[in-house]
Amino acid sequence: MKKKTLILLSLTPAILVADQLTKLYVDRTMQLGQSIPVLDGLFSITYLRNKGAAFSFLADASWRLPFFILVSFIAMAAILVAFKKLRDDQQFAAFSLTLILSGAIGNLIDRLRLGEVIDFLDVYWRSHHWPAFNVADSAICVGVAMLALDLFLEERRGKGVKTED
């Protein structure tokens, strides 16, 4: 089995289980809107539901749910096509794409099951809150950052620029 396929088949279930179990735990043990401080003035577990996308984008649009479901399937297909085109030595890119794919699937499960996404990770400084997020969102963000880094390094390698590994 190719290394990139092994990454996909081992990491995706792990992220999906972590994402869905944490959301289920929050849903079963907390009231909507309830907040539990973890690091006072910096981080709380706060049970919220997001009908939109990042930063509640399109949360009030009547057509949001079919739109987000369609976009999720298109994004997942594009990620799988890109994944298939990776060389077997591109494990970092495979890891990155797997994170993004797993996060997309995790949030899609919520949209299909609940019509919205459960968020609970609340990072803030005093009264300035970053929009709440979840494990799937974290996987997507980390995956995108890693993919951007990989693309930058791949371009430098292609131009013969020596990079430190």
Could you give the residue numbers annotated as active site?
119, 137
Close Cβ partners of 157 (under 8 Å, ≥ 6 residues apart): 163
Q: What tokens does 22 get?
A: 């944490």
| β-bridge mates for residue 45, sequence order | 36, 121
Half-sphere exposure (Cβ direction) of 103: Cα atoms closer than 13 Å: 23
E strand intervals along 5-145: 35-39, 43-50, 117-125, 128-129
